Amino acid sequence: MTAREPDRLADLPTPSLVLDEARLDRNIAAMAAFASERGLTLRPHVKTHKSVEIARRQVDAGAAGITVATLAEAEVFAAAGFTDIFIAYPLWLDADKTARLRRLLEASPAGTGPLLIGIDSTEGAERAAQAAAGLFDRLAVLVEIDSGHHRSGVVAAHAASVASAAVQAGLDVAGVFTFPGHSYSPAGRRAAAVDEARELADAVAALAAVGVSARIVSGGSTPSAEFADATVLTELRPGVYVFRDAQQWELGMSTPEDIALTVRTTVVSHRDNHLIADAGSKVLGFDRASFSTGFGRLLDHHDARITAVSEHHATITGVDLPTGSQISVVPNHVCIAVNLADEYLVVRDGAIVGRWPVDARGANT
């Protein structure tokens, strides 16, 4: 920061993303320790933070590599020097994405592991092979398994045909992965981890039956990670754990003291029955899970609820504060709030100690 910029949090524009560095580091260390104790590789999903600085801290704390959701995120993190990257998405390699994937493969430093990408169809496998022609040592694929979230991915019984197509096309099939997204319910966390282990084990067996040995068996969301079956999985890909959010709080996964990222906002209007704060859906997002009690929580006012949001208004009930008060809102889904911002204001002991860019903001192609 230059000398002319404000260094007091209260003097900065609202709404702004505020990151508590000590809590961030604690969350990073705790998940790294958990994975290490279980003998699991940790490959955190950086779509949550889209930050080179935070990804470096995750790797420094023991993460083996990183997970991204898009080719554009892979481009940002590869340019920043990351070499062990998994694009955990069934990329459709059209002309644009084929050209971009080839540039990534060609630029990958010698001696590093292959870039990993997801596939969930035989045609996806064939396109990946075409895209990697002549560069087969720099790419490996993982077959996406649907373990109950019912989004992309194949059921375990179909994994063998996708893997066989990939092998026949000349690709290195590194293994299988799944996202047990149905862990996002208070009662669903353990059950989703059970589904995840069963479906991944079935998929590993299906691959073995056609002669493919899965060296990577990858799963794990933040809510299900605690219950991950280390006899089946080799790695975890949690994302939200670095920051936590109101969903994790309301799932019983996080206490308010764990939450590292908030949106600092100002009460701009005081009505008889509610307050209006200046962070709306263009800052917090509009995500609201079936179990959520509102559109976000207030870090320091646990009885308050955000009962409505529009683009620049959050309607808050359950707390009375004077107009002009600054409050810390915990977004329901932190990955969404981060993608709406350009930078983090990093605080330690209440003082601003840095500004980190959201390097991959909008890198969603």
Using CB under 8 A as the criterion, which residues of the chain lie in contact with a copy of itself when the complex forms? 6, 10-16, 47, 69-70, 72, 89-92, 94-97, 100, 120-121, 123-124, 146, 150-153, 181, 266-271, 274, 276, 278, 281-283, 285-288, 308, 310-313, 315, 323-324, 335-336, 339-342, 362, 364-365
Select 271 or 350, whichever has its Cβ closest to a copy of itself: 271
For the residues of 266-326, what is the DSSP string, one character each?
A: EEEEE-SS-EEES--HHHH-----TT-SSS-EETTBTT-EEEEEETTEEEEES----TT-E
Residue 231 CB, nearest distance to a copy of itself (Å)? Answer: 28
Residue 11 CB, nearest distance to a copy of itself (Å)? Answer: 5
Place of tokens 């092998």: 167
Select 130 or 323, whichever has its Cβ closest to a copy of itself: 323
Residue 221 CB, nearest distance to a copy of itself (Å)? Answer: 11
Select 32 or 192, whichever has its Cβ closest to a copy of itself: 192
For the residues of 120-151, what is the DSSP string, one character each?
A: -SHHHHHHHHHHTTT-GGGEEEEEEE-SSS-S
Residue 137 CB, nearest distance to a copy of itself (Å)? Answer: 26
**Distance between CA atoms of residues 99 and 79, nearest Å:** 16
Residue 144 and residue 152 in contact, taking contact as beta carbons nearer than 8 Å: yes
Select 23 or 182, whichever has its Cβ closest to a copy of itself: 182
Select 234 or 248, whichever has its Cβ closest to a copy of itself: 248
**Distance between CA atoms of residues 126 and 191, nearest Å:** 34
Residue 354 CB, nearest distance to a copy of itself (Å)? Answer: 19
Residue 251 CB, nearest distance to a copy of itself (Å)? Answer: 16
Of 48, 13, 9, 8, the closest CA to residue 242 belongs to: 48
Coil, helix or strand at residue 90: strand
Type of residue found at 332: N
Select 140 or 358, whichever has its Cβ closest to a copy of itself: 358
